[in-house]
Structure 1
């Protein structure tokens, strides 16, 4: 057999293993569990307001005036039977985010809102975690049992908080996180965004995370419901203060403290942040791609080689095999490409996208390969992770590692 045929067969073998042995990552049925099916399902009921735990919603916000009118009113309008409030941390915004939040609360009413400004981060802190530190500290003075950490670009349906708390209480969970449904409107969003979630689930299979004996640990930072006592026991956010990928670091800290975690796809939580062009999406990925690889050049080389073998070899083998009369390469490449596209279809359906995008996954994977390499190049050039005017060039190893 030709060398290309061997590579195609290797790729097909990897795809068969991914299909069956990687926690069925490609399925999209890990949704917020019903409280009625949990072991503590009788601890809260819809009409018993006194038994619902107190909740503080903490929103870190830096220059978010563009999306805040779409997200903050949805938090203020939460239909929650118990006591809840919103704490928005204006993290040095230059666009009037804090004043806009106060005005939106005045116009919309609903849950009480407090706006605080912590000042510039101290050395060794990333901006978001610095903001969360102050928001969580203020919230804890009010004695909440739960903290909802949600980004400023995340919009919640009116029953979102109630369902989150019911799931946490009913299933005795310490951290409940939902991966918000990202915006998919522009052509580049259609091509890149569903694949972003698909790759994340492939790396952190939700089923493995949600097992009683977990095989993986992760969270989605846009929507995290966390028990206050668990946050204190885990030492967050202080213990992860340097983390660029703060959601995964948070989940690991909670897991180390003995907390139970659940992660799944959201039905009632949506991101309203637009990524209309490839440039915005490129910056979103490069900001944390090399940090995900722990700034390790060997992991980078392995990742590039893996992406080439798994995503690029199948279409190349099919086309080259057909052109050159290499039947084994063409058959194995075509079969691997078919399995790849088939595993991508459920995510496309979740994002309400057409099925014809599935065969384009190799092209999208190639873009992610380039983004990952660019993230490493930026790191070694001293540019590092950049977000909202702040750059974290060469962070020291975070305590969570």
Structure 2
């Protein structure tokens, strides 16, 4: 047999293993776990509805009893230059129909586009949950911007005595029952962290081609079923929507323990797991990202800013990743075309079979994103784009520009520091 045939057969074997042995990563059925809906909502008092003033005494977290079924929640939103998306996302948080006491703390992280002022205007216009807008100033050395903002917002939130913290990005819109369902899922199932992979925007051609694959690749790397097992085989989270038990955040020493992390969601999950917390991760049905990535350039920068950090800035892991992407995603179509044109039936059969399995595992994700199924056979091309983005991420790192985002550059950030 030819070398190409051997590669095609190995690729097919890998795809059979991925299909059956990688936690059924391709399935999209990991949604919020069962929740208890038989608790009676409690009407908050007027004092509980408003934020504390600096002179008021600290209120301790309420216990979860029949007379106090809904724990207090503080929603923390780090925001830097988000005036473009805030009108689509912030009103959805203010409009939460949470039966207990909840408030929103937006941390204006050095914005230059009037993000903080716009947030206050939106709160005055839409009403709903009380909003506090704060600004922590520039990050101290050793902190990434988002985690610095979260540190300030979480510290302020803890003075309110919440039972849970909802950490959500400024581009994430929530359906009115999102917070209620998150808290109910956590309390019903004894979870310390509930994280949902927000449904990303898919409108433009490049978003259709790249975005569903982004979630598909993430699930392949961190199978949700493995994360959600009683004895987990993987650890990860989705940073856009994280409900975190306050006492667990304190025990895990977050965000201080992960202050340098560029891939902060995975780092957060590892810190919570080390502290003994129970984690759940799944796909969202009531949470959506409103941030547009209309062109390839925007998507490229989104992936390249953290891809090499995911590989812990390790050249050997980079080489292995590139080789793996070539073998798993590029060999099948090449073997099929070369086998048919060159009369190598085994190579054509193995390449075609591997390509078919690949496309078939991608179909559920396309359906979840309500995209046409003809995109499934294009997955090798999308994987090739991700390969180039990953290599570019490494090049940026060694050029000293590292992870750049909204005017800040982290030349030597940590991927997920261990402590």
- TM-score higher than 0.5 here? yes
Q: Which residue of 1 aligns with 2:63?
A: none
Q: 1:291 aligns with which of 309, 316, 335?
A: 309
- Post-superposition shift, 1:396? 5.3
Runs of 4+ in structure 1 over 3 Å off: 46-50, 396-399
Q: Which residue of 2 aligns with 1:90?
A: 108
Distance 1:137 1:305, change over 3 A: same
Using the alignment, how far apart are the partners of 2:416 and 2:13 within structure 1?
36
Instruction: Name stretches of at least 5 consecutive residues in structure 1 with no aligned partner.
Output: none
Using the alignment, how far apart are the partners of 1:47 and 1:363 within structure 2?
51
- Post-superposition shift, 1:399? 3.8
Using the alignment, how far apart are the partners of 1:360 and 1:46 within structure 2?
50
Is the Cα contact below 8 Å between 2:194 and 2:242 reproduced in 1? Answer: yes
Distance 1:386 1:108, change over 3 A: same
Please state whether the residue corresponding to 1:35 is helix, strand or coil: coil
1:360 counterpart = 2:378 = yes
Q: Which residue of 1 aligns with 2:228?
A: 210
Please state whether the residue corresponding to 1:51 is helix, strand or coil: coil
Q: Which residue of 1 aligns with 2:20?
A: 20
Output aligned runs, 1:161-176, within 5 Å.
Answer: 161-176=179-194
Using the alignment, how far apart are the partners of 1:187 and 1:400 within structure 2?
39
1:222 counterpart = 2:240 = yes
1:348 counterpart = 2:366 = yes
Deviations 1:172-193 (CA, angstroms, capped at 9, x unpaired): 0000000000000000000000
Q: Which residue of 2 aligns with 1:9?
A: 9
Using the alignment, how far apart are the partners of 1:94 and 1:213 within structure 2?
46
- Post-superposition shift, 1:47? 3.2
Q: 2:210 aligns with which of 164, 188, 192?
A: 192
Using the alignment, how far apart are the partners of 2:211 and 2:142 within structure 1?
31
1:393 counterpart = 2:387 = no
Q: Which residue of 2 aligns with 1:75?
A: 93
CA RMSD, 1 decimal: 1.0
Is the Cα contact below 8 Å between 1:241 and 1:398 reproduced in 2? Answer: no
TM-score by length of structure 2 reads 0.93
Please state whether the residue corresponding to 1:57 is helix, strand or coil: strand
Q: 2:121 aligns with which of 103, 116, 119?
A: 103
Q: Which residue of 1 aligns with 2:338?
A: 320
- Post-superposition shift, 1:34? 1.8
Using the alignment, how far apart are the partners of 1:395 and 1:78 within structure 2?
36
Deviations 1:43-72 (CA, angstroms, capped at 9, x unpaired): x61434532000000000000000000000
- Post-superposition shift, 1:195? 0.1
Q: How many residues align?
A: 395
Using the alignment, how far apart are the partners of 2:354 and 2:247 within structure 1?
47
TM-score by length of structure 1 reads 0.97
Is the Cα contact below 8 Å between 2:110 and 2:135 reproduced in 1? Answer: yes
1:45 counterpart = 2:39 = yes
Output aligned runs, 1:133-282, within 5 Å.
Answer: 133-282=151-300
- Post-superposition shift, 1:394? 1.2
1:306 counterpart = 2:324 = yes
Using the alignment, how far apart are the partners of 1:88 and 1:199 within structure 2?
31
Deviations 1:312-339 (CA, angstroms, capped at 9, x unpaired): 0000000000000000000000000000
Using the alignment, how far apart are the partners of 2:372 and 2:267 within structure 1?
34
Distance 1:139 1:366, change over 3 A: same
